[in-house]
Amino acid sequence: MEITPSLLALQLVTGIALGAVYALLAIGLSLIFGMLTVVNFAHGAFFMVGAFVGLYFLGLTGNFWFSLVLTPLVVGAIGLVTERFLVRPLYGRGIDYPLLLTFGLSWVLIEAMRVMFGIEGIPSSTPPELRGAVDLGFGYFPKYRLFLILATAVIVLALWLFLEKTRYGLIVRAGSRDGEICKVLGIDIARVWLVVFGIGTGIAGLSGVLAAPTRAVNPEMGIHVLAESFVVTVVGGMGSLPGAVLAGLLVGIVFSLTSLFAPDLAELSIFVLMAVVLLIRPQGFFGKKGLLS
């Protein structure tokens, strides 16, 4: 196969589309960590639940847009319950415990989906209005993946507006700086944490619905996604949203370009990227140095 500039450009856009999903996943992970200093090991499982719930609603209503709106709400609600009843009792007991708990939860969620939808997984389909390809000038590109990039951009923009321009976003940002001071100022920080956990898991669910048409939907799909989103978070810097977006796109592009030149090394490449970043800049692109001690 000859590698032409247009093929390279196509692969680059493919990488950005893949990276868009990574970015969304890392944003959810980072948001929860930045606020609650909890690493959600069930993040991949929430992503997987999102894909299943999305397909379930799609089958029920036949409308992709409907499931796109409803699924994050359902997955976010599961997240709310998780925070309130499982994670909250563990605050103040050390950083490892919420991590361990969410790891156990991911097993339960995987089996729950197996019970409800079977171990085979369900076939997913692209919504009819997003089928086909668009001519980008250097080649034809699937419409759905362009939509993926666009949707991610919209979500990131909405999240940014929420965090930077609304009053509640201000509280969230203040809370991630210093929860203690927020409490003194009369803010119910526990509720803010609850909401942030819900938003984070909701975004994971949303990325599950969005990614479903581009990959196989089965109960194990979140297992590798978790490891990949960790790579993105480590590269971008834990707790940083711009870092999550940039690193997500970078990881997507690295994966997609490696699969063009050396398909066998594609999965390895992103982990090697992480190892290199760790050697040069252990806190990641945008990570603050003292944050993790």
- Residues forming contacts to other proteins in the complex (CB under 8 A) are 33, 37, 39, 86, 89-90, 93, 95-97, 99-101, 103-108, 110-112, 114-115, 119, 223, 227, 230-231, 233-234, 238, 264-265, 267-268, 271-272, 274-275, 278-279, 282, 292-293
User: Least CB distance from residue 24 to other proteins, whole Å?
Assistant: 18
List the one residue out of 56, 118, 115, 48 whose CA is nearest residue 78. 48
Q: Could you tell me the two tokens for 244?
A: 């999550």
CA pair distance 8, 10, nearest whole angstrom: 5
Q: Which residue has the tokens 């409907």?
A: 66
Containing H/E element for 142?
strand 140-142
DSSP 83: I
Residue 9's CB is within 10 A of a number of other CB atoms, namely 15
Instruction: Considering the complex, state which of residue 271 and residue 285 has its C-beta at the smaller distance from other proteins.
Output: 271
HEC string for 160-222? HHHHHHCHHHHHHHHHHHCHHHHHHCCCCHHHHHHHHHHHHHHHHHHHHHHHHHHCCCCCCHH
Q: Report the residue number, 181 or 275, with the smaller CB distance to other proteins.
A: 275
Q: Which is nearer to other proteins, 87 or 155 (CB)?
A: 87
Distance CA 150, CA 161 (A): 16
Q: How far is the CB of 143 from other proteins (least distance, A)?
A: 31
| CA 86 – CA 98 distance, rounded (Å) | 8
Report the residue number, 124 or 283, with the smaller CB distance to other proteins: 283
User: Given the complex with other proteins, which of 111 and 164 has the nearer CB atom?
Assistant: 111
Chain-centre distance for alpha carbon 246: 13
CA distance 143 to 214: 12
Residue type at position 254: V
Q: How far is the CB of 244 from other proteins (least distance, A)?
A: 13
Return phi, psi of residue 141, to 5°: -130, 135
Of 81 and 187, CB closest to other proteins: 81
Angle subtended at Cα 229 by Cα 139 and Cα 276, rounded to the nearest 5 degrees: 85
Taking the complex as a whole, the smallest distance from the CB of residue 59 to other proteins amounts, in Å, to 23
CB of 103 to other proteins, least distance (A): 6
| Gap between the Cα atoms of 106 and 108, Å rounded | 5
Q: Which residue's CB is nearer to other proteins, number 142 or number 252? A: 252
Nearest approach in angstroms of CB 257 to other proteins is 17
Nearer to other proteins, 11 or 106 (CB): 106
Question: For residue 279, what are its two tokens?
Answer: 């050697």
CB of 94 to other proteins, least distance (A): 9
In the complex, least distance from residue 293 CB atom to other proteins, rounded to whole angstroms:
5
